[in-house]
Amino acid sequence: MSAQSAQSIPVVDLKQFTHGDRDDQARFVSALGAALTEFGFVAVENHALDVEALAATYTELKRLLDQPREVKLRYEVPENGRQRGYTAFGLEHAKDHAVPDLKEFWHIGPELADTHPLRERIPHNVWPEDFEAFKTSSLALYASLFATGKELIRAIARFLGADEAEFMRMIDGGNTILRLIRYPAPGEVEVPEGAVWAAAHEDINLITLLPEATDPGLQLLRRDGTWLDIAPVKGQLIADTGDMMQRLTNGVIPSTTHRVLQPRHASGPRYSIPFFVHPQPDYVLSPLPQCVTADNPRRWEDITAEGYLMERIREIGLTTAQGHAGRYGKS
């Protein structure tokens, strides 16, 4: 079975855009735009992901999050909305969903040069002691995902008839985050009523890239109100657009609701590494003029990327102190 036939959402070949002629690029842009406007999700093949760095990062992530809770809690940074370092089970919840998700995770951001004008605006990374391989592999993975994300952002700009150079400036120095997640195995933590691995939500950022997770569980909400399974297919990245892209395009490219549920056959924990591409903090999320029409009037007021991020962080519980252990105490 081909990767195309194994996947439930449209599949695009990024090499068609990065190495193709003008006609190839036009076909890629059209296919990408059609997938994102219809689903908000697309599977991407022939991308720039560093597969060795991905494998090494998964290995190191498992070793890191197997550390005792008291060790992991040394790396909490609640004062910046937990944008870096460790976040325990039972803290983050989906917007408008009071029950926290069943997951713990680690956040890594860009390592901007000291001369970058946004260096002091972007939180510094938190690195665990005695995990040098974790730092090396995760930064290599970050770099390869950002390279892929830039190409997809360029293609989206072209689909929208927007300025590609402006879109590149938009993400230069943004608070783009690599989130390394561990979802617990069955019976590992106490499960309050209504709690799932990740409740239905929309991403906050411009675009998310998701390398192949270790197990299934991801689902998107279709326009007809039914849920569609998205398989982790070897060699594919799953890309989806978030709230910031939705605001930038006045809803032309939607932010699609999705969730992660524990499959019935699950026997162990699930690991996943989404990559959230953000604009620079002062970038104003104002709709592109071509996305505002008589049939699609302006939907949202202007807000900066930083302002919107902090608003959403408050809504999902990452700025409120709930105790070091979170609400699920068996991690």
Mean pLDDT of all residues belonging to the chain: 93
124/110 Cα distance (integer angstroms): 8
Please enumerate in sequence order all residues whose Cβ is within 8 A of that of 320, keeping only pairs 6 or more positions apart, or say none: 314
Which conformational region is residue 137 in: left (phi greater than 0), alpha (psi within -120 to 50 degrees), or beta? alpha
Instruction: Pick the closest to residue 259 from 43, 32, 102 (CA basis).
Output: 102
pLDDT tier, 326 (very low <50, low <70, confident <90, very high otherwise) = very low
Whether the CA torsion 217, 93, 60, 71 is positive or negative: it is negative
Q: Which helix (H) or strand (E) holds 259?
A: strand 258-260
Among 41-45, 189-193, 289-293, the range scoring the smallest mean pLDDT is 189-193
* Per-residue model confidence as pLDDT tens digits over 135-172: 999 999 999 999 999 999 999 999 999 999 999 999 99
Is residue 220 within a helix (H) or strand (E), and if so which, with residue range?
A: strand 218-221
Q: What are the backbone angles phi and psi of residue 26, rounded to the nearest 5°?
A: -65, -40
pTM for this entry: 0.94
- What does DSSP say about strands 227-229 and 237-241: parallel, antiparallel, or unpaired? unpaired
Q: What is the pLDDT of residue 5?
A: 56
Predicted pLDDT of residue 2: 47
- Residue 292's Cβ-side half-sphere holds a number of Cα atoms within 13 Å equal to 11
What values do phi and psi take at 294, rounded to 5?
-60, -35
pLDDT 10s digits, 294-321: 999 999 999 999 999 999 999 998 874 4
Kindly tell me if the per-residue pLDDT of 324 is higher than 70.
no
Give me the pLDDT at residue 90, please: 87
Q: What percent of the chain has pLDDT over 70?
A: 95
48 three-state secondary structure: coil
Is 50 exceeded by the pLDDT of residue 126? yes
Taking 70 as the threshold, does the pLDDT of residue 208 lie above it?
Answer: yes
Domains contained in the chain, CATH given: 48-315 (2.60.120.330)
Residue 150 half-sphere exposure, CB side, CA atoms within 13 Å? 17
Beta strand pairing status for 198-201 and 258-260?
A: antiparallel
> Mean per-residue pLDDT for 76-92?
92
